[in-house]
Amino acid sequence: MIDLHTHTTSSDGRCTPAELVARAARAGVDVLSVTDHDTTAAAAAASAACASAGIEFVAGIEITAVVDGRDVHVLGYFIDPDSAPLAAFLAEQRRRRIDRLKQIIDRLSGLGIVLDADAVLQPGRDDTSKAAGRPWVARALVAGGHVADTREAFDRFLATGKPAFIPRIGPAPPDVFNRIHASGGIASLAHPGLLARDNLIPAFARAGLDALEAYHSKHNADETARYLETADAHGLAVSGGSDYHADPSHDAGGPGCVSLPREAFQVLKDRCAARRATASGAATSS
């Protein structure tokens, strides 16, 4: 099984990298990418755990871009997780995440729900490589007895258009594609079925997007078929994964519940090799 979309405690997942790899190994995954939001902090530990479990590790990331105030998640694969320019860009992304959570907590207090902002944001201060996210606020709402579970926290307060929703500020997708390419990787549009902005895909393809995440745990068979066709129509490869967070209110299945076909994985690798060859050709000819 090939699972190219998972999260750890470095972002909003609940498994450490070692625990995630152990669960993936038990499920029969033999190619795994860890794609935390706006951080590569788990890459070294996940890579080491994969090596000892006999799993092929693909260095990955899920970067949040913004279009019209709405999130567009862009997956990066085969990146250099230690790239300095990428690290600087991701650090800025994480600072924006902390600022946004502060605004959300302020908004909640205006609604009469007082959370301890310091406590909610503490993990991001203790370890600046961690990417803060709304699930941290959702969990604080559960812990404070304001909602029954994190799903209710999103449905009542945190989701787009709800009373404590704060639009994100961030880079446009083409900027993110370029940064992924500059760190040696390729870019795939995450869960296009959840994004539900198919009209954006042709322009993304022209701006350097490499693939669509046609296979995702929350895509139904029709959506998967539609994105396979769309990818084909625009000369894009396809990626796929479970988007496993080890969070029952978030997950549609465990690691490996969605598996990318092996031929499609090879196409991603070939695409990456072609990009790198073009980039090095451009570098030597200039």
From the CB of 93, what's the least distance to Zn ion, in Å?
14
Does 190 bind Zn ion (CB under 5 A)? Our answer is yes
The residue count for binding Zn ion (CB under 5 A) is: 4
Of 185-193, 199-207, 220-228, 263-271, the segment contacting Zn ion by CB under 5 A is 185-193
Site stretch for Zn ion (CB under 5 A), options 60-68, 106-114, 141-149, 181-189: 60-68
Q: Report the SS3 class of residue 93.
A: helix
How far is 278 from 231, CA to CA, in rounded Å?
22
- Residue 115 region, left (φ>0) first, then alpha (ψ -120 to 50), else beta? beta
* 187 near Zn ion (CB under 5 A): no
Of 65-73, 180-188, 211-219, 257-265: span binding Zn ion (CB under 5 A): 65-73
Helix (H) or strand (E) run with residue 187 in it = strand 186-189
* Residues in Cβ contact with 188 at an 8 Å cutoff, skipping those fewer than 6 apart: 74, 75, 76, 77, 209, 210, 211, 212, 213, 237, 238, 239, 268
Binders of Zn ion in range 114-133 (CB under 5 A): none
Binding mask 225-264 toward Zn ion (x if CB under 5 A, else -) reads ------------------x---------------------
Distance CA 172, CA 161 (A): 21
Choose which of 73, 134, 250, 275 interacts with Zn ion (CB under 5 A): 73
